[in-house]
Amino acid sequence: SAVISQKPSRDICQRGTSLTIQCQVDSQVTMMFWYRQQPGQSLTLIATANQGSEATYESGFVIDKFPISRPNLTFSTLTVSNLSPEDSSIYLCSVVSVLDTQYFGPGTRLTVL
């Protein structure tokens, strides 16, 4: 299985600011995803992070609000821009291994005041 780390593990941010979350994997992977989990809810797929090209966003998520970078096969960032209290969630990155199994990072807990 892949070992995935996320930074920061948690943060408290002010309204109107932005937070960038980093996701690092210990091996090269083809597919990386970003999910959001709102309080008490299931996981919602935000986007697929594509290496060397623009991310593929799911319905309801736009690049201006959730810009994503993926400069190589082991690293990706998700920025949550112009924060509002509604953005308070856990943000998770995940990767797909060579055996087509998805593994998740520990998550980043964001609180917006």
Binding site for another protein (CB under 8 A): 1, 4, 30-31, 33, 35, 37, 42-45, 48, 90, 92, 94, 96, 100-107, 109
Nearer of residues 31 and 81 to another protein, judged by Cβ: 31
Three-state secondary structure of 7-69 = ECCEEEECCCCCEEEEEEECCCCCEEEEEEECCCCCEEEEEEECCCCCCEECCCCCCCCCCEE
Shortest Å distance, C-beta 80 to another protein: 18
CA-to-CA dists, residue 66 to 2, 38, 51, 104, 112, angstroms: 25, 15, 16, 19, 15
Shortest Å distance, C-beta 101 to another protein: 6
Shortest Å distance, C-beta 41 to another protein: 8
| Both structure tokens of 110 | 């964001």
Nearer of residues 57 and 75 to another protein, judged by Cβ: 57
Shortest Å distance, C-beta 83 to another protein: 20
